[in-house]
Amino acid sequence: MSTTQSERLRELLEPLVRSQGLDLEEIAVDSVGRKRVLRVVVDSDTGADLDAIADVSRVLSAELDETDVMGQGEYTLEVGTPGAERALTEHRHYVRATDRLVKFQLTEGDELVARILAVDEDGLDVEVPGVKGRKATARRLVFADIAKARVQVEFSRKDNNKDMKEEEEA
């Protein structure tokens, strides 16, 4: 996809996505055989449910049908959310990942897995889980020290299990 097409797509689609109360996270055009696939990733602070995805998909499809930004060939529009193990690249992504477990690749080369407790303009307060009976420890990370960050999937979180048991007993 040329930079020009990418810029034109973003200029066209971003205001439409915002009008639906969502953020435009990513746009990608891929070739699949003779067809092209336009993938649009959206999100919001409260997430995007299936109804919101369907609504924004209809709005984007209608606008794309009225323009030539995708050219004359056939294409498929796919609208979705970033997924469970999303990469954190923007300040808003870190805010949305508060209370989530994240794997950090630090600029010094170290790797750290920690839970985001709070986010401000300069960085993050995180909790590094304890290992082998040790207590969790607090740590401060500044954004400049983070090379990459990706949310981790947790299948069983002890805090969640405790809360669930308390609800069952009530």
> By C-alpha distance, which of 46, 4, 6 is closest to 26?
6
Look at residue 167 and tell me whether its pLDDT is greater than 70: no
Rg of the chain, C-alpha, whole Å: 20
Superfamily of domain 3-80: RimP-like superfamily, N-terminal (3.30.300.70)
Q: Where are the domains of the chain?
A: 3-80, 91-163
The per-residue pLDDT for range 105-137, each reduced to its tens digit, is 999 999 999 999 999 999 999 999 888 888 989
Look at residue 95 and tell me whether its pLDDT is greater than 60: yes
Token representation of residue 9: 């797509």
Which whole number is the average pLDDT over 39-66?
91
> By C-alpha distance, which of 91, 83, 134 is closest to 116?
91
CA dist 16 and 56 (Å) reads: 8
Look at residue 168 and tell me whether its pLDDT is greater than 60: no
Which whole number is the average pLDDT over 60-80?
89
The per-residue pLDDT for range 141-154, each reduced to its tens digit, is 999 999 999 999 88
Which whole number is the average pLDDT over 84-101?
89
For 88, 126, 148, 167, the CA distances from 139, given in Å and listed in that order, are 18, 5, 17, 31
Q: What is the pLDDT of residue 158?
A: 58
Q: Percent of the chain having pLDDT more than 70?
A: 89
Fold classified for 91-163 = SH3 type barrels. (2.30.30)
pTM of the model: 0.69
Least confident of 15-29, 85-99, 107-121, 154-168: 154-168
